[in-house]
Structure 1
């Protein structure tokens, strides 16, 4: 009996060896989970690196295709001083939305139209059927007064030629949100709220970006800053297209162009500070550190604050 018992039950040493062998052959549940997590993180880092590399290439392509500020100033000069005066004079009824009353300097195009609204100003492009930029002036009083009920009544702006404006049909079934450049949440009156739904103030925007990072980290953050600022805060928002690609990509019967990037320039006049939110128009975009004003000018070739910033 003793012999049978000893043969049927392994020794302590043998049992320990087998357990060790089992541990080597089959990793614990925690180790397997940890390995999976490492693999997932590695994939995420690789994906992020690829995305950053792609964006870097696109930005350099932007600079090459859109031109430097110096080149664009030369284009403006070739048009003639009389045209420059007329172009800037189009905003005569709404200069208050620009720092020192000076609109951005860029080479004028035949289909660009200056539009004045109660709470913002738009330079509109009939080529893209979107804004070139939208300008606002915010301060404590303006933000405190922005408590209007959202209307959601989008409309095509009749001041624009039919061939140069977006329509409601362009956005139907497109998969893109109608993204405000001057946010509805900034509007101080019922009329200004209604005006903000003009399609001249709208771009095709990736839904998750519009409702997520852009709304929270850009629009709400800008309002919060303006509500605490000691003076006026000038804000310029707009789309950026990659000409060689985005010109052939649009939505709807009118081929409204889809921007590759969106920016929001914030300039605190009292503190003489400027920074720029720069986001890729993509559902995967998350909050990011702002870029400098100088970098925005380099990427777009446009002087958004001519003779105003930087200030000595």
Structure 2
């Protein structure tokens, strides 16, 4: 299990990460979301042992991560920009990984080859597209059979077929080996499909951290049309409404709380239209960020 406690990190006078504490359990896929500049990549680099925290601690199964080779052997970090040695092929990079990671599996490397068939083993990686370089990174990382895989924008540049392939491979590793995955991405649809836990960062702080199912059960979208316009004001005093829109007689509300409580309050006023609509993770993210003061105002120029 990964445990993060009271984590702080500054660059000069700018606080990138402020007082973050969370736990990521073995065999889970944790999605890290946030606004641009929220501190996600800084947190991932500390988690991988690349940056030293100014304060706080990060441990993997009770052992520190920073400057602890045994912990680093168990994890791999794939950055947003894939990096390879100059003029190397996937075969040459495999030789380097084989000499670096004691957990390297030549059998797994060969098993994964059909999944990444578009990559020629002898072709120079610097001549490949970003999407193909990302595939190569994942191929090498999974061949090391790490206990923890840290991914920064892992599906950026991948075509839809390859995205599905990568997700299936990650699901397989989690199910069969108990791989722990931490993913940061702006593609919330993909995060929603993959993750069982999510955390949302803003301005270096962790706004919330929950199981995805619990997060969805705490926020609901409804469409309702009341017989009396005063009823709209009445439910505002009884429910935690974070957003509302009115189109004619039908209002759309984003409300925090259980669906049972929302239904109980609304039904008292006998609306002639009342529907509970499914919410996507992207919608929840937008309204949570708006609640934190990061509201989007559309500007047309």
Q: Give TM class, smaller chain.
A: under 0.3
TM-score, L = length of structure 1: 0.25
Of Structure 1 and Structure 2, the greater helix share is in 1
Of Structure 1 and Structure 2, the greater strand share is in 2
TM-score, L = length of structure 2: 0.26
